[in-house]
Structure 1
Amino acid sequence: MTGRTAVVVGGGIGGLATALALTRRGWEVEVLERADEFTEIGAGLSLWPNALRALAALGLDERVRALGAVERGGGLRSRRGRWLSRSDNAELERRFGWPLLVVHRADLVRELANALPRQVLRPGSAVRGVTADGEALVVEHTRGTSRADLVVGADGLRSTVRRQWWPEAAAPRYAGHTGWRMVTEPLAEPPLEGAAFWGRGERFGFTALPGGRVYCFATATTPSGGAAPGGERAAVLDRFGSWPDPVPRLLAAVPENAVLRHDIYDLPPLPGYTRGRVALLGDAAHAMTPALGQGACQALEDAVTLAVCLAATSDMGAALADYDRRRRPRTQAVVRRSARLAAVGQWAWPPAALLRDIAARATPVPLSLRAMAPVLDWTPPAARARG
């Protein structure tokens, strides 16, 4: 037992994974979540090989794989439905040792929460501030106060912890497009392959979930802060209802109130992910566009890495410096790469969109896999002897 204590602010994927990683190393942990229960209102989620390695380090890979569907094929298609490139997911699994798994966010959050002792979880606890009191940190929240040796800010894009401890940090920046996410009712004949259609200033993608359901996502270049007067499902039908099959069929199977709209932001680079005994991870540290499907994957990497760094030494400052050194360059590179891909996918000028589609058709699948290797090849750092 370490005898050390931590408060994790935020009960999403990154926060719960961090709590699990620390409790399994003997830490006493509290997870403070502003919502009244530990759940997610999101839709589907891609878990790439790097994320599955992180889940394996947490002992959850087999349980999570039982919740998800392995994506066996897919690729990019043009607005007219023509295939631009096909993915070779069997080769992806052969090369990286793990498949591409699609799960529902709520299922993953539930699995992480269920792996933790009940007393660790503190729902209905909105954090108001974190202050230093000697070598301890005091966290004020709506249910009182908590004291800890370490505070982990895993509280998302609009992080309270980041806003207080990094007051000079730039605000999240709008990526220029909004997104819709939705899950269909079970289909008698779901598509055998996933796909992402690239239009002009618009995209639509889908991939299978277990039980015949299909996770769909869409984006459109539009000012931030908008809301569809007739409802978001009507807005999606208006934009994408005439796209090639199976898009209309999928949209017809989406329940009326099941479309979630979120403006898409990323986070300008921070100068560090730690200050004093406070650490940031996940979207609080490096929010990114969903173009690469790496947001939750990088949060899981953060959680595992932070726990390994803290286990390696009794010097908290050295451990947090090691965490920052390992995670900041990598995650900020993924943020940049995701932003570039999102921008290309949203190109609307016809000549640029045509050249983009030609380039996609001309890129061999093995080259695409090699290009993803720096992201997908990640493995959990080895634990070192404590010093």
Structure 2
Amino acid sequence: MGRRRVEVAGAGLGGLAVGTALAQRGWRVRIHERAPELRMFGAGIWLWENGLRSLRLIGAEEQAVRNAKRIKQWAVVDEHGDEMFRRAFTDDDKMVLPLRADLYQALIDAALAAGVEIVTSSTAVAADPEGALILDDGSRLRADLVVAADGAFSKVRDSLMLTDKVSYLREGYIRLLVPQQPGDEDAVITESWHGTRRFLYCPCSDEFHYVALSCLVDDRTGRGVPVDKESWAASFPAFSDIIARIGEDGRWDRGMTVRCRSWSEGKVVLVGDAAHAQAPNLGQGANMTFTNAVSLAAAVSGANDIPAALRAWEQRERPLTDHVQRWSHGYGWLVSMWPEHLAEVRTKFLQFATSIPWVDAQLNRAARHIPVGDHG
């Protein structure tokens, strides 16, 4: 029997990761990207231990983190500077923060090294559960497996009626890079809360810091681009120097979640945001995508019944992904829905809740998950 073929819709982080993992297991992989060139938008990205382990399995970790900052702690403080939560990282439980562009290039290089074919200006619009990816020019590309990694607004997912619910959140985010300067903190992530606004400061490289500004949809000043630096500095005076370095670019993205009635239909499977887009509050979206990608490749390689293998894979992996999605949404709720006049109560609540071992275990369940195929 010849090598089995997979057609992948989307050359984002998820498409490249799953394509590489499958190619390394002997599949003939072709990835279709609708854009005319491979280009990554975004700033920095949190790589938790589960994501780093997954990237290591496909040979992309070393390059991805070569210029990244190793994070020692993540601290969450309120508008008075009082600490609400602090999470330390160790050699066995790491957090590394690279530029998103560096991670993307590492995944591209790993895919090409594994023999993956990447086709640009190729737009997938649907799929056949019997095993075919359908392009916008009417082409039907037969395959033993079709992977939909075409994002939260996946056309492939919708063509199969796999969408259960798409929910828009009350909050959104502006994510940017700002220049690094001597004396800046370079090993601690600080997340500051003020009312319904949040400011996230992340050391990212020797040249840049990654910052994120979060606010409610109806905070028109807060979500404005270019950023209203005076308004944000008034909310977060401790970071006024960082805020002053913000440039004129940027984009405000409304948070959203995607839930599916199933992650697969026949020989077609969803990965990444197409399957489980989530609020970015715990920084686990891409990490869960990588973890699920390597486990998917293991599940279908050697399987005689692909649809059955996909169902079994979802049954194993989905509970953890759903858990992360729920907890990330709940974390955001504490900011966006908590009454502003009860901010001091929120501080005390978070201090108490995060001191409970069970809560700590839930918040870090994904980060401490060992991906399939990782034997230490």
TM-score under structure 2 length normalisation: 0.91
Question: Matched residues in 1 for 2:2 and 2:190: separation?
Answer: 47
Farther off after superposition, 248-257 or 77-86: 77-86
2:251 paired with 1:256: no
Give CA deviations for 1:269-303 in whole Å, capped at 9, x if unaligned: 32211101100011100110001111101110111
Question: Matched residues in 2 for 1:301 and 1:331: separation?
Answer: 10
**Mapped contact 1:33–1:124 kept (Cα < 8 A):** yes
User: Following TM superposition, by how much is the alpha carbon of 1:348 offset from its aligned partner in structure 2, in angstroms?
Assistant: 4.5
Judged with a 3 Å threshold, the aligned counterparts in structure 2 of structure 1 residues 75 and 2 are, in CA distance, closer, same or farther, namely farther
What are the equivalent positions in structure 2 for 1:49-60 lying under 5 Å apart?
49-60=49-60
* 2:96 alignment partner AA: L
The structure 1 residue matched to 2:120, chosen from 123, 129, 150, is 123
**Mapped contact 2:176–2:210 kept (Cα < 8 A):** yes
Judged with a 3 Å threshold, the aligned counterparts in structure 2 of structure 1 residues 203 and 375 are, in CA distance, closer, same or farther, namely same
* 2:117 alignment partner AA: V
Judged with a 3 Å threshold, the aligned counterparts in structure 2 of structure 1 residues 191 and 350 are, in CA distance, closer, same or farther, namely same
**Mapped contact 2:300–2:310 kept (Cα < 8 A):** yes
Give CA deviations for 1:123-170 in whole Å, capped at 9, x if unaligned: 1111122235xx541422459553212111111110011110126x34
**Mapped contact 2:7–2:133 kept (Cα < 8 A):** no
Give CA deviations for 1:341-367 in whole Å, capped at 9, x if unaligned: 111122451354322211233456683
- Residue of structure 2 equivalent to 1:185: 179
- Residue of structure 2 equivalent to 1:68: 68
2:83 paired with 1:83: yes
User: Following TM superposition, by how much is the alpha carbon of 1:228 offset from its aligned partner in structure 2, in angstroms?
Assistant: 8.4
* 2:246 alignment partner AA: V
Percent identity (aligned): 25
Question: Matched residues in 1 for 2:126 and 2:263: separation?
Answer: 18
Judged with a 3 Å threshold, the aligned counterparts in structure 2 of structure 1 residues 377 and 187 are, in CA distance, closer, same or farther, namely same
**Mapped contact 2:127–2:268 kept (Cα < 8 A):** no
* 1:183 alignment partner AA: L
Judged with a 3 Å threshold, the aligned counterparts in structure 2 of structure 1 residues 234 and 381 are, in CA distance, closer, same or farther, namely closer
User: Following TM superposition, by how much is the alpha carbon of 1:200 offset from its aligned partner in structure 2, in angstroms?
Assistant: 1.1
Question: Matched residues in 2 for 1:49 and 1:119: separation?
Answer: 26
- Residue of structure 2 equivalent to 1:154: 149
* 1:154 alignment partner AA: A
2:326 paired with 1:336: yes
What are the equivalent positions in structure 2 for 1:1-387 lying under 5 Å apart?
3-90=3-90, 93=91, 97-117=92-112, 120-131=117-128, 135-142=130-137, 144-166=139-161, 169-192=163-186, 193-223=188-218, 232-235=225-228, 237-257=229-249, 259-267=250-258, 269-362=259-352, 367=357, 369-382=360-373
Give CA deviations for 1:85-131 in whole Å, capped at 9, x if unaligned: 333223xx4xxx14101111121111101112376111111112223
Task: Please list every run of 5 or more consecutive structure 2 residues that lacks an aligned counterpart in the other structure.
Answer: none
Give CA deviations for 1:12-51 in whole Å, capped at 9, x if unaligned: 1111000000110111111111112222111111010111
**Mapped contact 1:10–1:31 kept (Cα < 8 A):** yes
* 1:280 alignment partner AA: L
TM-score under structure 1 length normalisation: 0.88
Task: Please list every run of 5 or more consecutive structure 1 residues that lacks an aligned counterpart in the other structure.
Answer: none
> How large is the RMSD of aligned CA atoms in angstroms?
2.5
Give CA deviations for 1:168-199 in whole Å, capped at 9, x if unaligned: x3442111111110100232232243210112
User: Following TM superposition, by how much is the alpha carbon of 1:2 offset from its aligned partner in structure 2, in angstroms?
Assistant: 5.9
SS of alignment partner, residue 242 of structure 1: helix
SS of alignment partner, residue 3 of structure 1: coil
